[in-house]
Amino acid sequence: MTKQPVRPVSVDRPEISFAIPCYNEEANVVAMYEAVTTEAEKHASSHEIIFIDNCSTDRTRELLRELCARDPRVRAIFNNRNYGQMRSPTYAIYQTEGAAVIAMCCDFQDPPALIPEMIAQWRAGAQIVLGKRRSEKAGFILGLARKTGYAFFNRFGDYPLIPGATGFGLFDRKVVDMLASWNEPEPFFRGMLIESGYRLAVIPYDRPVRAGGRSSNNYGALLNFALSGVGGSAKGLLRLQLIFAIYLCVFAFALGVVTLLRFLTHGYSPALLILTVVVGLFAVLLLCLGLIGDQVRMLAERSRNVPLVIEDQRINFPEARALPAERSVNR
């Protein structure tokens, strides 16, 4: 089974790591670096900032190279292609070294001003600290879709999600290492955090509008994200057809009894007999498909061997944390 790159333990581990995914963020990346650095220098004894670029087509990589040259605490990972909104951010979290990791977007919709409170909650004993949207300027359709999505997931999911919690938060090293060991090929990270069961604190906040640039979160991307979460974390949904098949078998049996009684009392009824046979066959078919689906789910859970991303380059990482092929190259 292919594992994600192992993060070696370092004696000079920073207290706080920041994992910040980027895609076409030339308008925000430098300002985000400055804002995070200001808060980290005030509230953390030491820190590192890892930007992971998901194959941007603007000047984001050029600006990241400049930041890495300016500040050795800034590190960059350049993916060899765009790996989507789930795999790339999660991979960045797994590559951190800090005693705690703060994950946040680069567009300032995850406010750096919350960093001090997150660190304080962690030092007070919370192992997961999540930012939770109190409000957000979004259209009616998007807002309705989110509410419907949360309601659907919490009905069929294996654990309840926190509405408004997007994954912006702080995670203890123990939590990060545990989730990395799961080796999820399509990590629904905000759900994995809840599923892990570690001590959780929530910080409500008003989510601001995007600072600059254009969001890549269109309706298609959000739908794909939601379906990946449901598909990977809602076993009950796969078992719906099993449950429906069982009820249908009961109905077919009852219909068979009615058909038999009708035959004994009023004689043969071709329509009723055909209906009974069709319902019975359909129930058996659904039952078989449900059992096969459940077996496929279990096989899928035991064959997670796809790397989250393939790196094109990493910059400013210590030698011990370079990729194996890079350890002889000073980047």
Are residue 221 and residue 280 in the same domain, yes or no?
no
> What CATH number is attached to the domain comprising 220?
3.90.550.10
Are residue 124 and residue 207 in the same domain, yes or no?
yes
Is the entire prediction scored with pTM above 0.85?
A: no
Are residue 210 and residue 66 in the same domain, yes or no?
yes
Per-position pLDDT tens, the chain of length 331:
444 444 444 547 899 999 999 999 999 999 999 999 999 999 999 999 999 999 999 999 999 999 999 999 999 999 999 998 889 999 999 999 999 999 999 999 999 999 999 999 999 999 999 999 886 565 666 666 667 766 666 666 667 778 888 889 999 999 999 999 988 877 889 889 998 999 999 999 987 665 555 555 555 555 555 555 555 555 556 666 667 777 787 888 888 888 888 777 877 778 877 888 888 888 888 777 766 766 676 666 556 567 889 999 999 998 878 775 554 443 3
CA-CA distance, 224 to 209, in Å (whole number)? 23
Quick one: pLDDT at residue 232?
Answer: 56
Domain assignment present for 311 = no
Are residue 162 and residue 268 in the same domain, yes or no?
no
Domain assignment present for 6 = no
Quick one: pLDDT at residue 235?
Answer: 56
Nearest to 12 by CA among 64, 48, 40: 48
Domain assignment present for 199 = yes
Placement of tokens 């449901």 in the chain: 230
Domains of the chain: total? 2
Are residue 198 and residue 321 in the same domain, yes or no?
yes
Domain assignment present for 2 = no
Domain assignment present for 121 = yes
Query: Domain of 22?
Result: 16-234+316-325
Are residue 192 and residue 280 in the same domain, yes or no?
no
Domain assignment present for 179 = yes
Are residue 84 and residue 174 in the same domain, yes or no?
yes
**83-132 tens-digit pLDDT:** 988 899 999 999 999 999 999 999 999 999 999 999 999 999 999 999 99
Are residue 193 and residue 280 in the same domain, yes or no?
no
Q: Would you say 179 and 192 are in contact if contact means Cβ atoms under 8 Å apart?
A: yes
Placement of tokens 């910040």 in the chain: 20
Are residue 224 and residue 156 in the same domain, yes or no?
yes
Number of neighbours of residue 279 by Cβ within 10 angstroms: 18
**216-246 tens-digit pLDDT:** 555 555 555 555 555 555 555 666 666 777 7
Contacts of 141 (CB under 8 A, 6+ apart): none
Quick one: pLDDT at residue 6?
Answer: 42
Domain assignment present for 330 = no
Are residue 86 and residue 60 in the same domain, yes or no?
yes
Are residue 21 and residue 127 in the same domain, yes or no?
yes
CA-CA distance, 167 to 188, in Å (whole number)? 10
Domain assignment present for 10 = no
Are residue 58 and residue 179 in the same domain, yes or no?
yes
